[in-house]
Amino acid sequence: MTGFGETGFGELWETLLPLGRDPETGGYRRYSYTDADLACREWFASAAAQRGMRASTDRNGNLWAWWEGPGSSGKAVLTGSHLDSVPDGGAYDGPLGVVSAFAAIDQLRARGFAPARPVAVAAFCEEEGGRFGLACLGSRLLTGATDPAAAGELRDGDGVTLAEAMAGAGLDPQEIGPDEDLLSGIGAAVELHIEQGSALGGLGAAVGIAEGIWPHGRWRLDFTGRADHAGTTRLADRRDPMLPYAAAVLEARQAASSCGALATIGKVTAEPGAANAISSSVRAWLDARAPDQGVLDHMVGQIESAARRAADAQGVEVGVRRESFTPPVEFDPALRARLAAALDARGIVAPVLPTGAGHDAGVLAARLPAAMLFVRNPSGVSHSPAEHAEPGDCAAGVTALAAVIEELAG
């Protein structure tokens, strides 16, 4: 617990750390509405209770804790992040923002700050899309960015719908959807998050301010060929979907490199999946991100063309379907300027960085002024058990977030 600074950060961090951690891999499996997630929800409620903060769950399963001083009124300052994880995710992606939010409030209270506006700490549900496949689901539902009826029918890998999972956790799935009352009470949102790259390390800074989020999306590629015997089918007679799939993987790397963008095929399934058979079908998922929409469209087009050319050459059918898309986000310039000024006034050096990763703050940005703080990640590794932030940098993040809340809620 040492090194985290003089706030409640260390204690809170240590109590959250064991929840949902897989003993074999050391990674986190905090999927929405599973036992691990329910334990995280209890942890959140208890962190709020320890601070005398009113806690609630909204109709979309997002968690809220409110700090309201006797004199606070007007629109709230929202901070926080998420507690769910990708499969075998790291400890910091999401939880760092939630723990830092509570710790920043501890720090402000310790120095006698009384907020003129309410301060809300939120933990958004299903940010990673780790169970139901749609990233930032909780904030999308809250803001009306996704259709509630379709969301309720989203299924996990076992065929359980979001509606069923919510009902199992004691929530009413009939209630999901935009919450204008809640949204209209929020004046600004600031999410603190571990950096998912190593730019801050290169700049020698512990914290940074996000400039915006690259447009990004997920495409599903379905290659359909013909299953056959690996030992008896002549090469000329094969319709092997693995070959155009491989061409798509290689083109994704090539196109990303030439476009100054990012493209990744990180998930693939093959049917029937036998070591001694040609596959009948291969399904792969392309994740693509670029500095702007034009570059993204161009890059995905190149990858799709390469897949189609290679599929034609092998007598394989190919289908390409966009599963999700997030347009570019520019965080509110005026809010960013206030963050920069508040940090600068305290001698905190905070460079401005773009990011290719989606966040709840990016979804909220469509409806209200939103901004993000990043905390240095020495290796840049994220979505992995190796993700890390130094205790001193976590403390610097808490101090920076406290300065920002003081500026916005003062």
CB closer to Zn ion, 118 vs 197: 197
Q: What's the closest the beta carbon of residue 219 comes to Zn ion, in angstroms?
A: 21
CB closer to Zn ion, 5 vs 94: 94
Beta-carbon contacts of 217 under 8 Å, excluding residues fewer than 6 positions away, are 287, 288, 296, 300, 322, 323, 324, 325, 326
Residues 336 and 188: their CA atoms lie apart, in Å, by 11
Report residue 174 as tokens: 């009939």
Contact 54, 68 (CB under 8 A): yes
- Residue 251 found at the interface with Zn ion (CB under 5 A): no
CB closer to Zn ion, 213 vs 278: 213
Contact 318, 311 (CB under 8 A): yes
Contact 404, 342 (CB under 8 A): yes
CB closer to Zn ion, 37 vs 93: 93
CB closer to Zn ion, 125 vs 282: 125
Q: What's the closest the beta carbon of residue 127 comes to Zn ion, in angstroms?
A: 6
Contact 276, 231 (CB under 8 A): yes
Secondary structure (DSSP) of 142-167? HHT-S-HHHHHT-B-TTS-BHHHHHH
CB closer to Zn ion, 133 vs 225: 133
Q: What's the closest the beta carbon of residue 83 comes to Zn ion, in angstroms?
A: 10
Contact mark string toward Zn ion, 341..370, x via CB under 5 A: ------------------------------
Residues 83 and 16: their CA atoms lie apart, in Å, by 10
Q: Residue 1 has what DSSP assignment?
A: -
Closest to 134 measured CA to CA, from 152, 158, 160, 118 = 152
CB closer to Zn ion, 20 vs 94: 94
Contact 95, 87 (CB under 8 A): no
Q: What's the closest the beta carbon of residue 193 comes to Zn ion, in angstroms?
A: 6
Q: What's the closest the beta carbon of residue 85 comes to Zn ion, in angstroms?
A: 9
Q: What's the closest the beta carbon of residue 182 comes to Zn ion, in angstroms?
A: 21
Q: Is 374 helix (H, G, I), strand (E, B) or coil?
A: strand
- Using the contact rule CB under 5 A, the part of the chain among 90-98, 243-251, 278-286, 334-342 near Zn ion is 90-98
CB closer to Zn ion, 191 vs 407: 191
> ω into residue 118 within 30 of 0, thus cis?
no
- Using the contact rule CB under 5 A, the part of the chain among 69-77, 88-96, 131-139, 321-329 near Zn ion is 88-96
Q: What's the closest the beta carbon of residue 97 comes to Zn ion, in angstroms?
A: 8
- Residue 93 found at the interface with Zn ion (CB under 5 A): yes
- Residue 94 found at the interface with Zn ion (CB under 5 A): yes
- Residue 397 found at the interface with Zn ion (CB under 5 A): no
CA–centroid distance for 91 within its chain? 13
- Using the contact rule CB under 5 A, the part of the chain among 89-97, 105-113, 199-207, 253-261 near Zn ion is 89-97
For the chain, first and last CA: distance in Å? 30
Q: What's the closest the beta carbon of residue 290 comes to Zn ion, in angstroms?
A: 20
CB closer to Zn ion, 145 vs 268: 145
Cβ neighbours of 71 (radius 10 Å): 9
Q: What's the closest the beta carbon of residue 86 comes to Zn ion, in angstroms?
A: 9
- Residue 387 found at the interface with Zn ion (CB under 5 A): no
Q: Residue 28 has what DSSP assignment?
A: B
Residues 109-168 that bind Zn ion (CB under 5 A): none
CB closer to Zn ion, 121 vs 259: 121
Mapped to the 3 state alphabet, what secondary structure does 351-371 carry? CEEEECCCCHHHHHCCCCCEE
Q: What's the closest the beta carbon of residue 387 comes to Zn ion, in angstroms?
A: 10
Q: How many residues bind Zn ion (CB under 5 A)?
A: 2
* Residues of the shown chain interacting with Zn ion in the complex, contacts defined by CB under 5 A: 93-94
